[in-house]
Chains A and B, each alone.
Chain A
Amino acid sequence: MTPSIDRAALNDLLEATGNDRAFLVELIDTYLTDSAALLASMRQAVGAADATALRRAAHSLKSNSASLGARELSARCQELEQDAKNGSLEGAEARLVSIAAVFADVERELHALQDEFK
C-alpha cells in the first residue's frame, strides 16, 4: 500500500523548523484538529450549495495537507477547490467522500508517526 504521507516532505518540514521533534508532534496535532474542522465545513458548504465556502475550506485543507506531505489528499482537495472556484458543485459530494477516506488514512499514519517522534 502506498503511504499517505511523503516522509521526505515531512523530514523537510522537521529540518526547516529546527529539527524539533516535539514541535512536529504539535504541528501534527494542529493539522489533525484543523483538518477535522475543515472537513466539517466542506460538508456544510456542500449541503448549503455554498461554492465560496467550499472553495475556501478545500483550499485550506489542500495547503495544510501539502505542508505535512499528504500529497494525495492535497491533490484531491485541489480538484474540489477548482470545481468550487468554477462555481460547480456537481460531484462535490462524491469527491468529499473520497477526501474523507484519504484523510482517514492520513490521520492513521500521522498518529503512528507521532508515536515514532515522541
Chain B
Amino acid sequence: MSQGHLLVVDDERLNRMVLERALTEQGYSVETADNGHQALALLKGHTTPAFDVVLLDVLMPEMDGYQTLACIKADPALAHVPVVVISALDEMDSVIRCIKLGAADYLPKPFNAALLHARISASLAAKRLRDLELEYLEQVAQVTAAAVAVESDSFVPGSLDGVAAREDALGHLARVFQRMAREVRTREELLQRQVRELRIEIDQARQAERVAEVTETDYFQRLRSQADELRRLMNGG
C-alpha cells in the first residue's frame, strides 16, 4: 500500500523523472504536472483520495510556484494540503516568500534521498494529524446533532455507529449516548403502551357506567317487566 499520494509540479522533465522514480522507490504513489495550471486541474479534479503532499517548483513558465501556491491556499478544499517548495540553495528569498504564502517546508535541489524522505514524512505526519483533527471535530458535531435529534424525537440509533466505533473518550461518549437514547426510547414506548391500555380500561369503565345508568332507571325496569310478560304470553304461559 502507498505511504502517501504525492503531486510533483516541475517544468523540468529531468526533475520530474528523478523525483517520480525516487519517491516511488520510497513507497509513495506519484503524479506529475509540468506547470501550475495542470497542477491545479489535478488537485481539483481528484475526489478521494486526494494528494497528501504537493512538491512545487518555484520558477515555472505560464503559472509559477507563487501563483500556484496562492491558489492552493485560497481554496478551502485544498488549503490543508501541505506544499513543499523545491528550490536551489541559492534561492532562499524564494523559499522565504513561499513559506510566508503558506508552504509547509522546502526541499533543496539537487535532491538528497534521505532528506527527501524526511521532509515528506514530516509533512505527511502533519497532514495526517490535521485529517484526524478534522475527523474528530466532525464526529463531535455528529454527537451534538444526535442530542438535538433526541430532543426533537428524530434520533436514528445507527447514526452514531461510526463515532461509537472509536476507542477513545469520544467513542465512549457516543456508546453511552446510544445506550441512554435506547433506554429513553424503550421507556417512552412502555409508557405509551401503558397509556393506551389505561385508555381502553377507562373507556370500558365508562361504557359500563353508562349501561348501569340506563338499566337502573324505573323506565328500564318497567320495560324489562313488560318484555318478561310478553315473553311469558308468547310461550303460552
Q: Which A residues fall within an 8 A CB radius of B? A: 9, 12-13, 15-18, 20, 23, 26-27, 30-31, 34, 56, 59-60, 62-64, 66-67, 78, 82
Contacts and interface: CB of A to CB of B under 8 A. Distances in A.
Given A9-B110, A16-B116, A17-B25, A56 B61 contact: yes
By CB atoms of chain A within 10 A, which of B15, B21, B59, B61 has the most? B21
B15 A64 contact: yes
Contacts of B112: 12, 16
Contacts, number: 60
A63 B88 CA distance: 7
A16 B22 CA distance: 5
Interface of B: 11-15, 17-18, 21-22, 25, 59, 61, 88, 90, 109-113, 116
B18 A67 contact: yes
A18 B25 contact: yes
By CB atoms of chain A within 10 A, which of B13, B14, B90, B111 has the most? B14
A56 B59 contact: yes
Q: Which 4 A-B pairs have the closest CB atoms?
A: A16-B113, A17-B21, A18-B25, A67-B110
Nearest to A30: B14
Query: Dominant SS at the B interface?
Result: helix
A59 B90 CA distance: 11
B95 to A, nearest CB: 14
Contact of A34 (B14, B18, B22, B25): B14
By CB atoms of chain B within 10 A, which of A17, A31, A34 has the most? A17
A71 B112 CA distance: 15
A67 B15 contact: yes
